[in-house]
Each structure stands twice: as C-alpha cells, then as structure tokens.
Homo-oligomer: A and B are copies of this chain.
Amino acid sequence: MGPKTIRIRDVAKAAGVSTATVSRAISNPELLTEATRDVVFEAIRSTGYRVNKAARNLRKRQAGAVLILVPNLGNPFFSQIIAGMSEAFAQRDYSILVADTMGNRSGDDQFMDYFLDSRVDGMICLDGGLTLQDFGQLEANGMAGRVVFACEWVDGASFPSVRSDNVEGARLAVRHLYELGHRKIAHITGPHDNILTGARRQGMVEERTRLGLPVRDEWIIRGDFSLESGREAAEKILKMEERPTAVFCASDQVAFGLISALTANGVRVPEDMSVVGFDDIELSDFYVPALTTIRQDRPALGLKAASLLLDCLNGKTSMIQSAEPVVLDVELVVRQSAARIQ
C-alpha cells in the first residue's frame, strides 16, 4: 500500500479553508487574497498534493489530451513532427496520445473511438487517407472544430490545416533539374489515393509543361512514399526504352530506395542519373550521395498545427472559421544526388 492519496480535502483541512478555495488557488489564483493564496500554496507544498486529473476531467467534461494520428510512425518524417508538437502541448498541460493508422484503410474508424470515449479533446491528423464517410461521422458527432490536419488534408472538407507548399516544392525540384541541363525527367509518385501525391505530381507536370519538356506516360511511376517502392520503380526505369536522365521522387524514402537499386545495377547517381527527393529528413544529408531534396519545415509544421488545435479547443472561433489552410514555404536543398548532365 503506497502512501494514501492526498485529496483536495486534505489540503483544505491543512490550510484551514474550504475545498473550493483550494481549487480556486490552483486554477484562478487572482480570485483570492494574497494571504489565503499563500496559506493554500504552503499547504499544497507541505502535503505534496497533486490534482487528480481523472476527477478534474470528469467534472470539466474534457480529457486533457489530444490524439495524433499518424500513417506510419516508423517514418522519421512523422516522428520528428511529433517531437515538435509534443512540446507545444506539454506546455499547455495536454497529454499526447499517438495512434498509428498503419495505412489502415479498412474504414474501421478506430480514431473515432478516442473521441467517443472522451479520451481526447481534439486530434491532429497527419493522415489524409480518411474517407469522406469518416468525416460525416466526425461532424455528426460534433467533432468538427476539434480536428486539425497537418501535412496532409482532405479535399472538400473544411478543417483547419497546415501544410507545405507541395506544388511549389515539385516545381522547384523540376526547375533545378532543368537548370542542370536535364530534359527527360521522371517522377515517382506517392500512393494514388493520397492528396500529396496529387499536389506534387501537379506541380511536377505544370513545371514540365511550362519548360516545354518532353512528356512520356511511363515517366510517371506510381509509388507509395516507401523505400520499397523506390526500389521497384528502379526496375521499371531500368527497363525503359527511353530512359530519363533525372527522377524527382515524392519522398526522400523513395529516393533512397531508388538510388540503392540503381547503384546495385551499375547506374551511378548522380553521374548517370540525377535524383531529387522530397521532405529532407535528417538522413538525407548523410546518404551516399547526399540527397538533393525539398525541405519541409517540420518543426514549424508541428508547432503551427499544435497551436491551431489549441486555439480551436480554447474557443478562439475566429481560428475555426478561417478554413484557409496555412501553407508553409518549402526550400530546395542542393546536395550531391543531382548533377549537371554529362
């Protein structure tokens, strides 16, 4: 039996005041006389009191926690964003629950349970793969205004969101390759139902058209952001009758998979083929060759998403209204994986 728990009542007794006063000392200190406040705080210290969150949450009808929904925790891109968010939430005394959807498109709405069980007050969704049906659910249960999207988003749904300028990122990548003399540029996309896939491909195609580059259907290869899909794409590229001289990949992981397989097949990067990624995860600077890529500002993404959600939860309705997505600038990071065409 551990030391028996100290309730607010015990503190009240020790301080010679009512429980209401103790409660106020904690959450609205300005309501109290300096004298009482001091007495109460002293009592809190001497008893070692800590508020019981379960009781508080029950009474205040809130959970004191937020859910972060990630498509793949194993991907460092996401885990580093989370690291950023966690700070913002910890400061405001929210706990963070993390759930990995594992690309689970089986529509079991598991994330919904967190809301329905009142385990969380809000959610940051890093997974744009939610179906519109899920959204019906969300709104029907009055959870609109408690959800913020980060990185990904859902077309047609008007939740606050923070994202990088994906279209511009793709343009930057293509332009960079163009300036290095490349004309035959391929693209490995993300999964076909992903919203980022669309944005990045769109930017890529637009810029390619604008620059008057040749177009070949087979130069747009379907991937899924994963290492493995980069490897698979490499095989396709090696078999092409007209091989591109450069590839823009929808993620750094894809780029790694691609380079790894190309190298294994005797195609040197960047001498024989230039490669550009997207994300700029930490490893990109340490790959061989160091990866030229588009940087997303992960800390800013996490922080901004966190503060958007906090605003929503604290009734800053102005924020909720502004369904204008927050779009963060991206940046081309030039390293060694893309070179002037030989």
- Is the beta-carbon distance between A95 and B119 smaller than 8 angstroms? yes
Query: Residue-by-residue, is A46-76 near B (CB-CB < 8 Å gives 1, otherwise 0)?
Result: 0000111111011000011100000011111
Query: Residue-by-residue, is A1-40 near B (CB-CB < 8 Å gives 1, otherwise 0)?
Result: 1110000000000000000000000000000000000000
Give the residues in chain B near A257, CB-CB below 8 Å: 286
| Contact status of A288 and B286, CB under 8 A, knowing A79-B74, A102-B83 | no
- Is the beta-carbon distance between B2 and A141 smaller than 8 angstroms? yes
Name A98's contact: one of B86, B117, B119, B256 (CB within 8 Å). B86
A283 within 8 A of B: yes
- Is the beta-carbon distance between B50 and A116 smaller than 8 angstroms? yes
Residues from 140 to 191 in A contacting B, C-beta threshold 8 Å? 141-142
Name A288's contact: one of B65, B78, B230, B288 (CB within 8 Å). B288
CB distance from A151 to the nearest CB of B (A): 16
- Is the beta-carbon distance between B97 and A82 smaller than 8 angstroms? no
The chain B residue sitting closest to A120, CB to CB, is: B95
- Is the beta-carbon distance between A227 and B282 smaller than 8 angstroms? yes
CB distance from A144 to the nearest CB of B (A): 10
- Is the beta-carbon distance between A117 and B283 smaller than 8 angstroms? no
Name A80's contact: one of B74, B82, B110 (CB within 8 Å). B74
A306 within 8 A of B: no
CB distance from A179 to the nearest CB of B (A): 24
- Is the beta-carbon distance between B288 and A263 smaller than 8 angstroms? yes
| Contact status of A73 and B82, CB under 8 A, knowing A2-B142, A3-B142, A52-B58 | yes
A100 within 8 A of B: yes
Report Cα–Cα, A100/B83, bound state, in Å.
7
Give the residues in chain B near A50, CB-CB below 8 Å: 116-118
Give 9 closest A-B pairs by Cβ, nearest first: A2-B142, A54-B58, A54-B57, A79-B79, A260-B286, A74-B80, A73-B79, A73-B83, A98-B98
14 CB contacts below 8 A, A to B, read A54-B57, A54-B58, A55-B58, A73-B83, A74-B76, A76-B76, A86-B100, A90-B99, A97-B97, A253-B283, A256-B286, A257-B286, A260-B290, A264-B290
